[in-house]
Chains A and B, each alone.
Chain A
């Protein structure tokens, strides 16, 4: 009797796996299951939250004043940059109109907090506290203060799972900020190293070049910094150079993230 049950369960689970990989309908099942599991998740993040809360609550007045002062000066610097930015934006808009180009789109975003890191030692994914209820969708890009952080790979009702840029399944279309050369950056599984694919030996690329998302492929919004080139090796035996880059986002440390909503471009494409 156990044998029959086992066989049917096995068939069922293989069916589940394939349906899950092919169709999106299973996401509903997954979301309802995640309600059951969510207390576990919140309990796991509880000690960290308590430590953070208590360190915020019981920290020294001087420290608070200090961090407040630092934050203020940072705001000042940023505001000054924003002032320039608005001028530049307006100028860019005018120039684009002169060129008859479509105007750039601003992206909406919501903030998210990282709540846990995948316990599986062989994958680099994290879980954040925003889910389907906030309108998160699979394929959404996530950035932190310094650059592109990752992409949403799975959405539950209250949380969602993000694959980091350094994931091996990850490839981002980028261009070199200095000269506009297009390329693709892929993850290596190491948090500190990305690789550039198909860069010819003669290509104009230097150590320190910043790589910025190009928006080609329509998956990532254009113009977010991704990585900085840290090493270039030319192997005479190979047709492509071996270029390594360091992700700009704080993959190992960031807690506050921004989830970018890409705007629908249908009305724009008619022009």
Chain B
């Protein structure tokens, strides 16, 4: 309880996690694995919205999305919309999602990230011509598989650095 009265500190940890997530998202992979690259940035958004909904909400996710747009070169605001949708979905599911065991959380995250990829593909198709129209669920699957570890590591560090 006494922790709650203390001024917020340890918030610097959030940008660092996103820096790592952006790094992993931009890292070149061999062609075959590129399709199944876990969506690190979405995972981080989901984690922080789940853990700190009062600090990390739709607006911050939107800003992260803008940065991601400038990283991957999509029209500014495309991933802003996608990540704010993602954050909003997590906020809606928040009360239930926190109660779930990790495996069940991973299942929900598979669905949520899958949906956000559909939205991203749809927006991309609407505003810029892309090479292929087929949808790939691999990133959602690998992200869901990695979720327990992402959650575990981040949660440990978050408690350690008292990010509130």
CB of A255 to closest CB in B, whole Å: 13
Instruction: Give residues in B with beta carbon < 8 Å to A.
Output: 19, 22-23, 25-29, 31, 34-35, 37, 57-59, 62, 65-67, 69-73, 75-78, 80-81, 84-85, 87-88, 91-92, 123, 127-132
What is the distance, in angstroms, from B64's C-beta to the closest C-beta of chain A?
A: 11
Q: Does A134 interact with chain B (Cβ within 8 Å)? A: no
Known: A16-B76, A36-B67, A44-B26. 16 other contacts (CB 8 A): A2-B88, A10-B84, A13-B77, A13-B80, A13-B84, A16-B66, A17-B76, A17-B81, A36-B70, A41-B26, A119-B34, A120-B72, A121-B31, A121-B34, A121-B35, A127-B73
B85 to chain A, nearest CB (A): 7
Give the chain B neighbours of A214 by CB distance below 8 A.
none
Question: Which of A27-35, A58-66, A81-89, A139-147 is the interface stretch?
Answer: A27-35
A15 to B76: give the CA distance in the assembly, Å: 10
Indicate whether A15 sits within 8 Å of B26 (C-beta atoms), given known contacts A2-B91, A10-B85: no
Given contacts A16-B77, A122-B132, contact A21 B127 (CB under 8 A): yes
Residues of A within 8 A of B77 (CB): 12-17, 20
* Contact indicator A119/B127 (Cβ below 8 Å): no
| Contact call A123/B58, Cβ cutoff below 8 A | no
Nearest 5 pairs of A and B residues by beta carbon: A16-B77, A13-B77, A13-B81, A33-B70, A13-B80
- Contact of A16 with B80 at beta-carbon distance under 8 Å, contacts A2-B57, A6-B58, A117-B28 already known: yes
Q: Is the CB of B81 within 8 A of A10?
A: yes
Q: How far apart are A43's CB and chain B's nearest CB, in angstroms?
A: 6
Q: How far is the CB of B71 from chain A (nearest CB, A)?
A: 5
A38: min CB distance to chain B, Å: 9
Decide if the interface of chain B is mainly helix, strand, loop or mixed.
helix
Query: Across the interface, which residues of A come within 8 angstroms of B23, CB to CB?
Result: 40, 43-44
Q: Report the Cα distance A119→B37, complex, angstroms.
A: 9
CB distance from B117 to the nearest CB of A (A): 12
Interface centre among A6, A13, A120, A154 (most CB of B within 10 A): A13
Contacts of A16 in B (CB 8 A): 66, 75-77, 80
Bound-complex Cα distance A189 to B72 (A): 18
CB distance from A10 to the nearest CB of B (A): 6
Contact A40 B129 (CB under 8 A): no
A156 to B76, CA, bound (A): 13
A168 CB within 8 Å of chain B: yes
Q: Which residues of B contact A43 (CB under 8 A)?
A: 23
Of A12, A34, A169, A189, which contacts B70 at CB under 8 A? A34
- Does A124 lie at the interface of the complex (its beta carbon under 8 Å from any beta carbon of B)? yes
Q: Does residue A113 face the partner (Cβ distance < 8 Å to B)?
A: no
Looking at the assembled complex, report how far the CB atom of A90 sits from the nearest CB atom of chain B, in whole angstroms. Answer: 44
In angstroms, Cα B76 to Cα A17, docked, is 6
Contact of A30 among B25, B76, B85 (CB under 8 A): B76
In the assembled complex, 26 residue pairs joining A and B whose CB atoms fall closer than 8 Å, in A order, are A5-B59, A6-B85, A9-B62, A9-B84, A10-B84, A12-B62, A13-B62, A13-B80, A13-B81, A13-B84, A14-B81, A16-B75, A16-B76, A20-B76, A20-B77, A30-B70, A33-B70, A44-B27, A116-B28, A119-B25, A121-B34, A122-B131, A122-B132, A127-B73, A161-B73, A169-B128
Task: Judge whether B80 and A124 touch: CB under 8 Å.
Answer: no
On whether the beta carbons of B72 and A119 are closer than 8 Å, the reply is yes
Residues of A contacting B87 in the complex (Cβ-Cβ under 8 angstroms)? 6
Given that A6-B58, A13-B80 are known contacts, is A156 also in contact with B70, CB under 8 Å in the complex? yes
Cα distance A116–B27 in the bound complex, in angstroms: 9
Contact A21/B91 with A6-B58, A40-B22, A40-B26 known, Cβ cut-off 8 Å = no
Query: Residue A213 at the B interface, CB < 8 A?
Result: no
